[in-house]
Structures are given as structure tokens and as C-alpha cells.
Chain A
């Protein structure tokens, strides 16, 4: 089976940096995704990691360690519009299915 853990809520200040952690257990790993979801809207794709290391995309970076079953999403120069839920999701190599964590609600304070 698969299990994904991430903090329920986090708070950060506009202009600062925040790191959202995700740990997972899976019977077969074939990639980890981060999605952003604003309240009442659909999730939108942020990043994908399948190999160990850091993937950088503008203000957002995502890191993966497969041996530790660990990932983080790093958000720099926080803006008010970054207030959203951030979903960690893992794809299985057995059935290609993607399982989502419960999401981390990020609150940005001015």
C-alpha cells in the first residue's frame, strides 16, 4: 500500500521562505508530484521528481530522497497569492496510479 504524510497547516510571512515536507511509504515508486490547490479550485501541477535531488522552477523548488522516502517543496519570496493547499502525491510503478496526501494548508501573513 501507500501512505503519504505532510503537515496539516503552516504559516509564513510574505517575502519569506517556507519548506513543506512530505514523507511517503510505497510498494513501488515511480515519481513524486507536488500540486497547488487554491480554495474551491482544482489542483494545478507544480513539480515532478523521479530521481534524487533538487528540481528548481522559478520561486519553487522540489527535492527528493528515494532512500529516505522524503520530499520537500521550497517556496521562496512568498507572495500572498501563494496562500493555498500544497498536495504531495506519489505514483506507483505497479499500476501507474497516483495517490495524494491530505495536503498542507499554507497561510501567508502580510
Chain B
């Protein structure tokens, strides 16, 4: 399967613990996005990368959240000192930006985080 993959698919943690999620995009894609989605809502933008450069981070994202894409391939999203409000589905998407065109995003299956 050459689609976007995410690991783990499910994570249960206790409040105050740190968690890290991984996303492997489609191999030739240069753009990688992280979203958070809660029940009944659309995906909420968190941050995105062009190759290894982080271009933007949502103002909604607290300092407890950090993301990296060290070699322009896979990416990690870390949440420190988790809170119950962090419980959500974390989605990763990738796209190939080649000028004009749809450059649509392809989503991974997501990581469902539950903070107890």
C-alpha cells in the first residue's frame, strides 16, 4: 500500500503524559499536513510542512504541541502533558504541489487519541 500511513492507530494515555504520533506520507509528496478532528466537526488545521520546513502553525495550537519533519519524509507530532481536551482523531495528509491544479490532499487513517 503506497498511501499515507499513521502510527499508532489508537492511543490511550493518562492525563499529563506525553504522546508522539508518526505519519508517513506518499513518498513523492512534498507537502504534509496535520489536522485534528473531533466528533461532528470537520478536520481542524494544526500545521503543515513543505519538505522539511514548517510553514505555519495554527494559533489554536498551544506550546504543548510540536511537529517535525526532519528529512522531508515522515513527520512526528508530539503532545506534551496531555489534557482530556486533547482527545480527538489526529489526521495526517500529504499532497504534491506542482504549480496550479487541484494538488488534492490524501489523508491517512488517523490516530485516535483518548486521554483519561
Contact = CB atoms under 8 A, between A and B. Distances in A.
Interface of A: 4, 31, 33, 41-45, 48, 50, 87, 89, 95-103
Nearest to B108: A42
Nearest to A105: B40
A95 B110 contact: no
B108 to A, nearest CB: 6
A43 B44 CA distance: 13
Interface of B: 31, 33, 35, 40-45, 48, 55-56, 91, 97, 100, 102, 104-110
Given A42-B91, A42-B108, A43-B107, A100 B42 contact: yes
B42 A41 contact: no
Contacts, number: 48
Indicate the member of A41, A96, A99 with the most B CB atoms within 10 Å: A96
Residue from A4, A42, A97 whose CB has the most chain B CB atoms within 10 Å: A42
A97 B56 contact: yes
Nearest to A49: B102
Contacts of A41: 109
Contacts of B107: 42-44
Contacts of A102: 40-42
B89 to A, nearest CB: 9
B42 A95 contact: no
A99 B45 CA distance: 7
B19 to A, nearest CB: 19
B42 A101 contact: yes
A14 to B, nearest CB: 24
